[in-house]
Structure formats: C-alpha cells, structure tokens
Amino acid sequence: MFLAPEPRGPLSGPRVPPFRQLLNVIGCMLVLPWYYVTTALTKYPVTLDILLTIALTELNRYVIEGRRIIFLGHRLFDGKQPSPEEKRDREDLCLESQQATPSLDCLAAVVGWREEPSLYRRALESYKSSTTCVFLLAGIDGDEAQDQEMVDVFNKVYPKSSAVIQIPEPLGLVAERVRAKVISQNRHHDQPVDGAEADAVAMQYCIELAKNTLIQHNLRIGAPDGVRQLCLKQRHLHKKGIMFTAFVFSLVIADILGVEFLWSSDSDTIVFSDSLERTMNTIAADPHAGGASAGLVVHNAHESTVTRLASAVYWGELYLTRSTPACAGTSDCQSGPSTAFRLAALPDILVPWYLQRALGKRMVVNEDRHLTTNLLLRGWKVMFASDVLAATDTPTTMARWLKQQVRWARATHIESLLHPRVYATSHPLLFYGMAKREFGPAIGAIAIIWYLFTSQQLVVFSSKDLLLRVLVGCLYNLLRNPDRMTTKGLPWVLPSIFFYYIPLPAVHLWSMLTMGADGWGTSMRASGERARRETLKKEWFEAGFFVVWMGILGGVTAKVLGIYLGMVPHEKMAAILVTACVGAFGGWKITIGAT
C-alpha cells in the first residue's frame, strides 16, 4: 500500500497547479497592505485582530465538523452515490449522529527518551481507551541501563501480545548513508544527481530493512495471536532519530494491517478516548488531506505556579492562534504531542525531513514544524481539529518554560522565513498568520527598546484597546473553548496574560538572533536527567535574555512614571537605573538564580 513510492520530483504529492500558485502569491502580496491597514490605520488594532481571529476560529470549527459529516456519510452509504431521498436522509442522520461518529482504525507511535516512569505509564495506558488504535508502537531513543526503565514500564502496561526489539542501527543513519552512496555513485558515473530519487532509494532500503526485522522476530502482526504492541529501542540520537525509525516501521506495519492513518505523540502525552478518532475523521474524507493535529490541555496544571499559568495560556491563547490559517487546510504546525498523518503522505517526505539543514547546520529540534512544512510544500492539506483535545506536560519552572518557548520560536522562525516556497503552494491565510506572528512581537520589542533610549514612541499603545481585547478574548473562550475552564482556573486567566505576553517580545527577538542554536533547552523528566546541572555559561545563554529584558521593562516603566509625575532629569535617570536593576534582579531570581 505504501511501500514503493515512485519519485515524481522534489515536491511530489497532490499537485498545486501553477495558476493556483500564482493566485496564492498574489494573495500573499495583498496580505501586507491588509495587515498594515488593520494595525496602523485603526484605533483599536488588537481588538480588531482578536475579532478576526475569532471569526477564523469559528470558520475552522465549521469546516472540520463539515468534514466529519461528509466522512460519516461515506461510511454509512459505502461510498455509493445516494439518491435525492437518501441525501436528505443522510443529512438528517448526520446531524442527529454527530456524537456517534464511526471509529477509524489507525496506528499510534509514541516516542520518548528517559521519561518519568509514572508519567510514561499513564501515557501508554491512555491508549487502552481508544477504540481507534489497533496497534501501538513505542519508540525509545536510548538503549543504556537508564533507558531500561521505560522498557520495564512498557512491559508492565502491555504484558501480553507485545514485544521489544533492539534496533542495531538507527534507521535515520542508515538512510543518510544510503542516500550519500547513491549520490556518490551517480557522480562517479557522471550521471545527474537527483535528490528525490536518492531519497526514494534510501527510503525503500529502510522500509525493506524494517520489514526483514519484523520477519526475523516472527511477530505474527495481524494474526489473532500476533503482537499488537511493539516497543523499539535504539541507541540515543535525538527525537528526530527515534521518530524516523518509528515512522518507517509504522509504514510496514500499516501495510500489513491495511491501516491508512498514523497517530504520532510524545511519551508525556495522555490521550482521551475520542482524541484519535475525531482527529482522523477531519482528514478521512479528503484524499488530499495529509495531516491534522488536535488541541492541547495541560495535565500537570496543579504542580506549580508556572504550570497553572501555562495551563491558562493554553486555554486563552494557543486555541485561538493555531486556528488562524487552519480553516483553509494550511495549519502551519502539527503539534508533536497530538498529530495525525495520512500514511501515504509520509514516504516522500521522511528522508528530506530527517536530513534537513538550515543556516549551514543539521536541524534536530524543529521536528513537528518541519514535517508540516514538507506536507504543505507538496500540496497536502493540514488541518487543526480545535475541538479535539489531548493532555500534555508543561515545564514546572520559569527557566524551563522560557527554554521551551525559545526552542519553539526558533523552529517557527526557521520554517516561516527559510521556506518561502510554501506560501506559493498554500492558501494566503498561511502567510497572514506568519506575518502576524513574525512581525508583531518583533515590532513590539524594538519599539520598547527604542523608547527606553530615545523617549520616542514608534507604536502607540491604547490601554482601552488592550483591555477590550482581553475582555473579548476571555468571553469567547468561556463560551466556545472546548477546554471548559473551571472556577478554580479562572483566577489564573488574567495573570497568565502577563505571564505570556511580558516575555514574548524578548523570546521572539532572542530566538530570531539565535536561530542556529541546536540545543534542546529543557532536560528530560527522568530523575537522572533532572539531577544534571547546567553550566553557568549555558544558563546565561538560555535565560540571560530574560534578565536583560526585565531590566529594560523596569527602565521603561520608570521613564513613563517619571514623565507622568514630572520628575527632573536627574531624578528620572536615578529612577530608571534603580528600577532597571530591580527588574533585572527579579528576572535573574526566577530563572538563573532559581536553578
């Protein structure tokens, strides 16, 4: 079914006609003046922005629900063309049966490295409640003594119909070596070097290797007494390395089982009973839909103050921001903890995804965004099932939260700025979402720094506009967000706005200046990994920008108050220096000082 992809060129997939690409480019050109008009020439720019975002979020929910209705109709009528009477019956039945959407079989690949055992157990057990998951593949990126802990958890959760396989060599390294050999042979024989052909050869070799590995272990996959849960472990590389191996094995196992979809998740993610099924149903009826992702909530929200604030951020901000381009099938990030793929889309993209280079370096920390970019470049639609939820883990300290945000922001910059062709193959809403995300925080950071040193305002901030934006956003989330806010969570909503937006310009600017940094930032949750201490130099590199930023904000606050209170210049300068030092010390205290 998926084992022999024919290379059709460097960007194979559902073809985007040249005329459509031209229209997309024209649409992108029109986005910039539209963005300027809605920000610089309006009295309430951020309120207008939230209203537009809400409209697109509602449109996205309408689109995905329509896709589920179409899929249900196909299942009920076996793909036959219904009569007019059947069409009316189908519409009535679909409207009455939205809560009983039929299941859709899929594989689930759960990858991780040195996860905290109790959390990993909860993650694996959560798949038992999913009727859609017919096979579970657990990938462990490590084969040392400390990694055996995760294997033991797997064996305890799935003691029957399961197996553990040691992979002699990570398949990503195999693919890299085979691809290099194909290119070398072509050059040796003075033949043209075709990167897509080399990718296809490397991919096919890895698939055959995975197939032979399964045969050697006699797992009887698909038989009544065969293996239904498989754990793969390989020597430690990185998340991309274990994902590549897991995806290749998923292609082989899916071909055996006749399964069309793959769910990909992390070792700290807990899925709900309908998470997989309702995500798959958003892409099942459209053969050009290559992937989808579900929304996220935080399952460790009560662990610390930071996790409570982060949980409110997920509720108030991420649900809306991820919906902006999704209604056009151009969601720009399939979040790693909650992603679905059409398996037919994977063979062409896995090798170029794994071997990605940017700014002269191999990229290993932007795995989810680059997978999405590869799908969009090849014409596949990518959906965001905003009304479906899975639960993920969030950092418990300010320092770890900032490191995570910087890592995500670096991946966002790389995919948004270094792959301009994706805007030609995608709806202009993708470019619109990028423009808001990339320009807004950068302009804000520059404007604040400029005001501190020159006392000149590049951007006029309206307190009434900001307050209205907060009220509109909170009201909408209370009414429509699928993550129902409890009374205990409400007091954290307002503080979470400051928690998220105060560091945002600094995170954005610092991540843009350090796009080439390849560190993961946060350590894994296993006790041995948490016990490791970072060097002071590394801590300052990863969180020092926040210390500086808090000093800048302290100075700006003093300057504004000094002007308001009519201070003389030397009083104003003293106030700026004092509050800048206090702000920087506070930033250090809750990040570097706390570790």
Report the candidate in 322, 317, 275, 314 with the shortest Cα–Cα distance to residue 296: 314
The CA distance from 55 to 32, in Å, is 19
Q: Is the pLDDT of residue 582 over 60?
A: yes
3-state SS of 221-250 is CCCCCCCCEEEEEECCCCHHHHHHHHHHHH
pLDDT confidence of residue 534: 72
**DSSP state, 254?**
H
The answer to whether the CB of 105 falls within 8 A of the CB of 276 is no
Indicate the SS3 state at residue 550.
helix
Indicate the SS3 state at residue 106.
strand
Beta bridge partners of 233: 140, 166
Q: Is the pLDDT of residue 102 over 60?
A: no
Q: Is the pLDDT of residue 533 over 70?
A: no
The CA distance from 221 to 229, in Å, is 10
Q: How confident is the model at residue 317 (pLDDT cuts 50, 70, 90)?
A: confident
Q: Which two tokens stand for residue 320?
A: 């809306």
Note the pLDDT tens digit of each residue in 33-90. Answer: 998 888 888 889 999 999 999 999 999 999 999 999 988 887 766 545 555 554 554 4
Q: How many CA atoms lie within 13 A of 343 on its CB side?
A: 27
> How far apart, in Å, are the Cα atoms of 116 and each of 28, 202, 212?
45, 34, 32
Alpha helices in 259-397 (DSSP H): 275-280, 305-313, 319-321, 350-354, 367-377
pLDDT confidence of residue 33: 92
pLDDT confidence of residue 397: 95
The answer to whether the CB of 377 falls within 8 A of the CB of 329 is no
Query: Residue 295, exposed/middle/buried by CB under 10 A (0-12, 13-18, 19+)?
Result: buried
Report the candidate in 230, 239, 236, 217 with the shortest Cα–Cα distance to residue 143: 236
The CA distance from 575 to 115, in Å, is 47
> How far apart, in Å, are the Cα atoms of 530 and each of 268, 408, 525, 595?
15, 21, 6, 11
Note the pLDDT tens digit of each residue in 137-182. Answer: 999 999 999 999 999 999 999 999 999 999 999 999 999 999 999 9
pLDDT confidence of residue 256: 95
Q: Is the pLDDT of residue 535 over 90?
A: no
Q: How confident is the model at residue 14 (pLDDT cuts 50, 70, 90)?
A: confident
Q: Which of 79-88, 169-178, 216-225, 435-444 has the lowest mean pLDDT?
A: 79-88
User: How many helices and strands (H and E) does the chain possess?
Assistant: 21, 11
The CA distance from 381 to 340, in Å, is 12
Q: Which of 120-124, 373-377, 412-416, 513-517 has the lowest mean pLDDT?
A: 513-517
Indicate the SS3 state at residue 262.
strand
Residue ranges of domains in the chain, CATH in brackets:
16-98+282-532 (no CATH), 103-169+205-267 (3.40.1400)
Note the pLDDT tens digit of each residue in 321-377. Answer: 888 889 999 999 898 899 999 999 999 999 999 999 888 888 888 889 999 999 999
Chain mean position to CA 338: 8
**In the block, residue with structure tokens 């039929």:** 102
Q: Which of 207-211, 431-435, 517-521, 584-588 has the lowest mean pLDDT?
A: 517-521
Note the pLDDT tens digit of each residue in 410-433. Answer: 999 999 999 999 999 999 999 999
Beta bridge partners of 229: 136, 162
For residues 472-479, give the mean pLDDT: 95
The CA distance from 28 to 34, in Å, is 10
pLDDT confidence of residue 527: 55
Q: Which of 32-46, 222-236, 568-582 has the lowest mean pLDDT?
A: 32-46
For residues 480-505, give the mean pLDDT: 93
Indicate the SS3 state at residue 286.
coil
Determine the residue type at 151: V
> How far apart, in Å, are the Cα atoms of 369 and each of 24, 114, 224, 335, 372?
21, 23, 38, 8, 5
Task: Count CB neighbours of 423 within 10 A.
Answer: 22
Q: What angle, 0 to 180 degrees and rounded to 10, lies between the N-to-C axes of helices 536-565 and 569-589?
A: 150
> How far apart, in Å, are the Cα atoms of 399 and each of 37, 84, 160, 534, 545?
37, 61, 41, 12, 11
Mean pLDDT (the chain) is 89
The answer to whether the CB of 102 falls within 8 A of the CB of 75 is yes
pLDDT confidence of residue 319: 87
> How far apart, in Å, are the Cα atoms of 82 and each of 93, 96, 281, 481, 585?
14, 18, 21, 36, 70
The CA distance from 244 to 291, in Å, is 17
Residues in the chain: 595
pLDDT confidence of residue 475: 95
**DSSP state, 330?**
B
- The percent of residues in the chain predicted with pLDDT above 70, rounded, is 91
162-166 vs 229-234, strand pairing mode: parallel
- CA-CA-CA-CA torsion sign (20, 23, 27, 28): positive
- CA-CA-CA-CA torsion sign (552, 557, 562, 563): positive
For the chain, first and last CA: distance in Å?
51
For residues 375-389, give the mean pLDDT: 95
The CA distance from 524 to 528, in Å, is 9
Alpha helices in 503-535 (DSSP H): 504-513, 527-530
Close Cβ partners of 528 (under 8 Å, ≥ 6 residues apart): 114, 146
Determine the residue type at 65: E
Q: Which of 97-101, 242-246, 589-593 has the lowest mean pLDDT?
A: 97-101
**In the block, residue with structure tokens 């897509």:** 196
